[in-house]
Amino acid sequence: MDFARAREIMVDSQIRPNDVTDPGIVSAFLRTPREVFTPADKQGIAYSEHEITTSPGRALWTPRDTAKLIKLADIKPSDTVLVAGAGAGYEAALISLLAAKVVALDETQALADAMAERFKAVGARNVEPLAGPLELGALAAAPFDVIYVAGMLEVLPEAWTTQLRDGGRLAAAVVDDGGLGRGTVVQKSGTAVSARTGFDASPPRFSAFDRKPSFSF
């Protein structure tokens, strides 16, 4: 399979037509081999419009949703970025071409070690794989200009917003009151945060961040 040609088709059919035309973002998608972050038995569909499971609870989003959330995050070349729930590491590799430094956080050392091998394979030298509980963030590497969440959630852990630099942004797909996912960016100003939504999205969710059920009498 001609993966380079598949990347071009993906960008031309799934990313640019969905209002993601920033040259830096487009270049990142063209330069990052998605197949490296896809399980071997699914590499034939690496550039399709499908979500692809990479490990239990982790998946590659559709290219459209990934591109639109990266656009919403408004990543600058000087930024330090935390990718929470980095999974196979694809989003972290993309973002490494847009930011100064990336921390790719996931729950287990096995995921972190596998990411390290993939980052080495694609030449992503400014990404640090890290293992630890997602809800605690990465305090030792904070503050962050951007936190990019690679899964849909209902509740944002408080640790994430406290680890944002003043003026920093958190980009995630957040479940709204109607149960629908919305690409959302949360901006920090002093001790206050504000949120705005940008697009509909229903990628795989991080069930650990679902709202806890409540009882009524």
pLDDT at 80 over 50: yes
Query: Cα–Cα distance between 91 and 174 in angstroms, integer?
Result: 17
Average pLDDT over residues 81-102: 98
For residue 68, give the CATH number of its domain. Answer: 3.40.50.150
For residue 215, the model assigns a pLDDT of 40
Query: For the chain, how many structural domains are there in total?
Result: 1
Structural domain includes residue 152: yes
Q: Determine the 3-state secondary structure of 69 from DSSP.
A: helix
The pLDDT tens digits for 43-61 are 999 999 999 999 999 999 9
For residue 29, the model assigns a pLDDT of 98
Residue with tokens 């930011």: 99
Structural domain includes residue 116: yes
* 138: nearest Cα among 80, 94, 77: 80
Phi, psi angles (nearest 5°) of residue 76: -105, 155
Structural domain includes residue 44: yes
How sure is the predictor about 212, in pLDDT bands with cuts at 50, 70 and 90?
low
Q: Alpha carbon of 112 to those of 65, 103, 104, 142, 146: distances in Å?
A: 24, 11, 8, 18, 20
Query: Cα–Cα distance between 124 and 110 in angstroms, integer?
Result: 19
For residue 106, the model assigns a pLDDT of 97
Domain that holds residue 131: 3-206
Structural domain includes residue 216: no
The pLDDT tens digits for 105-154 are 999 999 999 999 999 999 999 999 999 999 999 999 999 999 999 999 99
Structural domain includes residue 130: yes
Structural domain includes residue 109: yes
The pLDDT tens digits for 193-202 are 999 998 998 8
Structural domain includes residue 212: no
For residue 179, the model assigns a pLDDT of 76
Structural domain includes residue 211: no
Q: Is the dihedral of CA 54, 68, 86, 132 positive or negative?
A: negative
